Amino acid sequence: MRDSVYVTKTRLPLREEFFRQIGTVVDTAWLTNDGECVRTLERRLQEYLGVPHLLVCNNGTTALMLAIQCAGLAHKKIAVTPYTYVATLSALLWMDCTPVFIDIDPGTLCLSPQLLHRALQEQPDIAGVLPVHVYGFSCDIDRLESICREHGATLIYDAAQAFGSSCKGKSLLDYGDYSICSFHATKLFHTAEGGCVVSHSDEAHRALSLARAFGHIGDTHYTLGINAKMSELHAALGLTLLPGTQEEIDKRQNLHRVYDKALEGANLTKPRVLDTSFSWNYSYYPVLLQDEATLLRVMCRLAEQNIYPRRYFYPSLNTLEYLRSEWRGSCPVSENTAARVLCLPLHGDLAPDIAETVSRFLVAELPSSSLQ
Ligand SMILES: *Cc1c(COP(=O)(O)O)cnc(C)c1O
């Protein structure tokens, strides 16, 4: 029987390159606190992404907490999409913010500008907006920006999945007042654990940098801080993986073509971005099945073959049991999407014939498929 096939597989550097990079860390005996690898990684990422200020952190969740804290949004009301990984919401809750769930647009699966506009009119005390570029797709960045400007709300993008995606010639990480990214091992570019915050002024960058390291310099304590520093070992991994990122994107794009072809005419839908200036990182392959029953049947059938796609994102976060009941509300588009979405296995190491096999088993379980 073939090896198990999971939704993704961690990208690893060449052993020699990684050991050489780690060797420089051992030589200097400097393991953390703004070391050489962290500084170099920040510079390289800033160039790679073409962003003005970038600060690396120990993960994407703390990166988001830092952005919320430094934007002065702690304890405030924040509009957020319910269709995302739970960390988007947990960062907000750890900052004692009140979530206001805004349903998603059925086309992009990102936070709906229309519904946001209405919510801001009804609740002027919403101080910040936290949309997510799901699957590396682009939110409606122009409309979100103008709506936030009009209402004086701070715009923080969770761009955890958007590394390598761009719109109008700019990295998605360059949009909003702040954008955060995750460098978790499951992401396209990673440092095992890690993340970053992108900001747009010297002042914001300094505040983030201070808060990342306990809020003090020497014996002078300026502000509430936390430990959100990335270690030199993680940064060393990032330095060895960054150059292979475009190749990884190209491989995933090829697999997309394989899936697209094998699923042509199948009874499912795929989210799409229509902006012609958008360039995708191809990091995921999400499909929307007819209903949850079909999805569960497909998952069972694939599991028999040792193939494990993932329900990204499920459940819709506005339905979480541990939330205060007055926060939950109803987000029909997100709930409906979450019930029937499946991300198919996709990573640079996946053999094209496995993608074909996955597609074949998937299509066989679809009701009234139009495939002959
Ligand atoms: C991965 C992810 C996060 C969390 O990042 P960590 O680095 O694991 O803390 C947050 N939001 C989204 C949308 C993600 O996909």
The string of pLDDT tens digits covering residues 47-71 is 999 999 999 999 999 999 999 999 9
Q: Helices (DSSP H) in the chain: which residue ranges?
A: 15-28, 36-49, 60-70, 86-94, 113-122, 141-151, 202-212, 232-241, 245-262, 292-304, 325-328, 332-340, 352-364
Sign of dihedral through CA atoms 13, 14, 16, 20? negative
Give 218 Cα–ligand 1 centroid separation in angstroms.
32
Give 160 Cα–ligand 1 centroid separation in angstroms.
5
Contact 75, 93 (CB under 8 A): no
Q: Say what the pLDDT of residue 372 is.
A: 45
Backbone angle region of 306, left / alpha / beta, with phi > 0 → left and psi within -120 to 50 → alpha: left
Contact 269, 286 (CB under 8 A): no
Q: Say what the pLDDT of residue 272 is.
A: 78
Q: What separation in angstroms does the CA of 88 have from each of 69, 129, 179?
A: 14, 12, 12
The preferred substitution site among 184, 226, 312 for testing ligand 1, maximizing ligand atoms within 8 Å of CB, is 184
Q: Say what the pLDDT of residue 212 is.
A: 98
- Three-state SS at 174: helix
What is the number of the ligand 1 atom nearest to the C-alpha of 184? 7
Contact 17, 25 (CB under 8 A): no
Contact 161, 136 (CB under 8 A): yes
Single pTM value for the model: 0.97
Q: Say what the pLDDT of residue 1 is.
A: 67
The preferred substitution site among 182, 196, 316 for testing ligand 1, maximizing ligand atoms within 8 Å of CB, is 182
The preferred substitution site among 137, 158, 173 for testing ligand 1, maximizing ligand atoms within 8 Å of CB, is 158
Which residues, 6 or more positions from 356, have their beta carbon under 8 angstroms from its beta carbon? 258, 262
Q: Which residues of the chain have pLDDT under 50?
A: 371-372
Contact 131, 81 (CB under 8 A): yes
- In the DSSP assignment, the letter for residue 214 is T
Q: pLDDT per residue over 314-335, tens digit each?
A: 999 999 999 999 999 999 999 9
